Amino acid sequence: MIEAKEIINWLGGPVSHVHLRNEDQPAVFDIGEKHQFTTEAAVYYLENLTKNPDTRITDTNHALLDFDIENIPKPEGLTDEQWKSFTIDLASQSVSEKLKALRQNPESSRIIAGIEVDIIGENGELSLDDGCLSGLDLVIASFHSFVREFFTGEKYYTKQYLMNAYMGAVLNPHVDALGHPTKLSSRVADTIFVEDYLLLLDLMAQRKVAMEINLFEDLESQENSLTLNVVSEAVRRGVPLILSSDFHHFEESDFAKDTNVYPGVVNKHNFEEVFRNNQDFHFRLFRRLAKNINTLNKIGVTPELIVNSSNENFDRWQNEKRVVA
């Protein structure tokens, strides 16, 4: 059993896959603006939570949601491919502008500028252009069914389509990690097994592309059985692993929904009050992290295999990834 004092050995590096927004940027998703972290609030929260002035956080917002893609009218006369290219151009411009603003932020030294880019084609095509991706520090490539539905009207994949697309994304020199690669099993038209991932895992090991593990989920639940089996194979094959939160807002956490307790707005003016009034939330969050880390430890995962278990591990992995790319 992992003890509380040992958790820092697993979580001592950059906090990965957090969805942030700039101070002057409206919130996305169907949530209130106050409940998606701004860059300033996230840094302040992290600094006080960890008591570690060297802790960093990765800003990996959705590329296609930064500019509210679902409400952009399709220009008349465009083919589907032209529409896709048009959207990629808009998304790339939006992300580049956000990156420029982030670099000018006084807190930027604590922020790893990244993106969660969508895989939008069977050959691993991405929703941002190479010029935009090359300026980012961390690129997580993911599938989201709503994006596929937006572009094609189709809701389901075949496992062959899925694996081809993942492998194409892994071959992209700008891609550092695959986001939640086992979470689309319910959207696959045919049954998907751990054996279907083996070629992909071998390629990820060769390319030093990390597999994301979401610590906010219950890894011991039945719906995550495929995830644990794939992680176990990833360990055997030497695939880098990255622990993430995939954090959008406090309300999405199941224990927050159950108790109707979440910190809400966090800033330097109300930090002490937020923590004092929400101790149950933070205890439940800590307990979830500890439980998942113990689950991973049982299948052979150690802090040394986690690229963001420390700042040193993270920097070493990024340097190795650049050599391979």
Count of domains for the chain? 1
Q: Are 318 and 22 in contact (CB under 8 A)?
A: no
Taking only the tens of pLDDT, the chain with its 325 residues reads 666 667 778 888 887 777 766 555 544 444 334 455 666 666 666 666 666 667 777 777 777 766 566 667 777 888 878 888 888 898 898 888 888 887 887 666 778 888 899 999 899 999 999 999 999 999 999 988 777 777 777 777 889 999 999 999 999 999 999 999 998 766 787 888 999 999 999 999 999 999 999 887 889 988 889 999 999 999 999 999 999 876 666 555 554 454 444 555 555 566 566 666 666 666 677 788 889 999 999 999 999 999 999 999 999 999 999 888 7
Compute the distance between CA of residue 9 and CA of residue 243 in angstroms, rounded to an integer.
12
Q: What CATH number corresponds to the domain at position 233?
A: 3.20.20.140
Compute the distance between CA of residue 177 and CA of residue 183 in angstroms, rounded to an integer.
15
Q: What is the mean pLDDT of the chain?
A: 80
Compute the distance between CA of residue 280 and CA of residue 36 in angstroms, rounded to an integer.
20
Compute the distance between CA of residue 170 and CA of residue 172 in angstroms, rounded to an integer.
5
Phi-psi region of 192 (alpha: psi -120 to 50; beta: other; left: phi over 0): beta
User: What is the token pair recorded at 267?
Assistant: 């800033």
180-235 residue pLDDT tens: 999 876 678 788 899 999 999 999 999 999 999 988 788 998 888 999 999 999 99
pLDDT of residue 73: 74
12-39 residue pLDDT tens: 888 777 776 655 554 444 433 445 566 6
pTM: 0.85
Domain containing 294: what range? 4-324
* Amino acid, res. 160: Q
Judged by DSSP in three states, 219 sits in coil
User: What is the token pair recorded at 47?
Assistant: 């600094």
Compute the distance between CA of residue 29 and CA of residue 182 in angstroms, rounded to an integer.
23
User: What is the token pair recorded at 195?
Assistant: 């054996």
